A = this chain, B = another copy of it.
């Protein structure tokens, strides 16, 4: 131990406090719900033989050890670059990284940054895209403000929004993503009830959605973009486009981002991340912000941390520069495509033919991402206290109950016969075994 050690202090015992004071918490702290993740951690601890298709982690074997090793060696081998990476950065993020992220992202839509009125000054680097989503809420939402999400939606962000006092309305989805006709109905109703001016955000995960795997169709993208413009009054209704899974496309053509429709950079916040298509351990996300949003958002970020991990940002810039990032994404696509196919095939084998333990079970067939969404026949309760979960835990498989992905309100009662399966973490063998276990669990339901 190199620090100077003091000798053990001889402190006279202080008198006891006069009152048995409690720790106390802020009002917001008392209102934050325990996140659903706690449920899964508890199950995993109590059932060590469980195969989890619940956790939204990524494939461990394919994590980019070689790419990071080589880029880090280059970075640290250049003393000036190394020192810059180990010093403080800026709150907004490392400029060369922001430049590369901008160029890369607009190129996905076949556009230039000028086409979208974007400059590196509209880009912010955050501690994962989750921090960006948090900051967006702090910057734009007052308690009681309205946010519209898809039903089902990404449960972590629903929890975040609720913790920030937002009231969440949700709009049903179908195979084309958010039902924008239903959205229009909701908007028209808010207009009638005078609540339209409390609506701040429409949040969509529009590529291979977490949790359903669905992608918003091009026609719906245009409709959605048109709607927020048409229904905005004093304040803009902004779209938050969470494109975390966009790069994990395994088949089919890419679709233009919602951001690509926003030529004046006024309506769409685009959130992206290195976590899914590269490595979560870098905890590096990034956002493209409508004009005027960056300054107030950076004031919050300045108070949070005055800038995300600088070493990771310098590393990320180098990974983009050398093409290592792109090569790794290509590899990941092969790996996840294969795992998705294993899961689809196993579902078809176990549930898709005569004699299925659960006739009527349906599931999504996403072209990318990490998730498949199953809808059981009426009468099956997939909830944490339901019969299916009980049987699944006994058989040794864990899923995310669909009801965790809904908020109360709008479209009647929350559906309780859906589940989310993630093929990110489990190996192909484990995926097959997990589906066999799920089939055995389903087979026990009728008994």
Contact = CB atoms under 8 A, between A and B. Distances in A.
Nearest to A162: B303
Interface stretch (A254-262, A339-347, A386-394): A254-262
- Copies of this chain assembled into the complex: 2
A73 B64 CA distance: 14
Contact of A330 (B2, B292, B296): B2
A34 interface: yes
Interface in A130-177: 130-131, 134, 138-142, 145, 156, 159-160, 163
Interface in A245-268: 247, 249, 253-256, 260-261, 266
A134 B17 contact: no
A26 interface: yes
A281 interface: yes
B17 A229 contact: yes
A40 interface: no
A323 B3 CA distance: 11
Contacts of A24: 140, 200, 234-236
A249 B73 CA distance: 33
B82 A127 contact: no
A310 interface: yes
Given A76-B65, A305-B283, A4 B60 contact: no
A32 B296 contact: yes
A44 interface: no
Interface residues of A, number: 126
Contact of A69 (B9, B82, B234, B253): B82
A296 B26 CA distance: 10
A143 B354 CA distance: 62
A7 interface: yes
Nearest to A225: B14
Contacts of A110: 5-9
Interface stretch (A85-93, A358-366, A398-406): A85-93
Interface in A164-208: 200
Contact of A138 (B29, B89, B302): B29
Contacts of A37: 302, 306
B127 A305 contact: yes
A394 to B, nearest CB: 27
Given A63-B87, A281-B309, A303-B160, A22 B234 contact: yes
Interface string A287-316: 000111100100110111111111110100
13 contacts: A3-B108, A6-B108, A11-B261, A15-B229, A17-B232, A21-B234, A29-B299, A37-B306, A58-B88, A73-B73, A86-B280, A156-B302, A283-B308
Shortest 10 CB-CB contacts between residues of A and residues of B: A2-B326, A24-B235, A86-B281, A21-B232, A9-B256, A281-B310, A17-B229, A86-B279, A309-B309, A21-B236
Given A68-B76, A69-B77, A160-B303, 7 more contacts: A2-B326, A5-B110, A6-B255, A21-B237, A86-B280, A130-B303, A134-B303
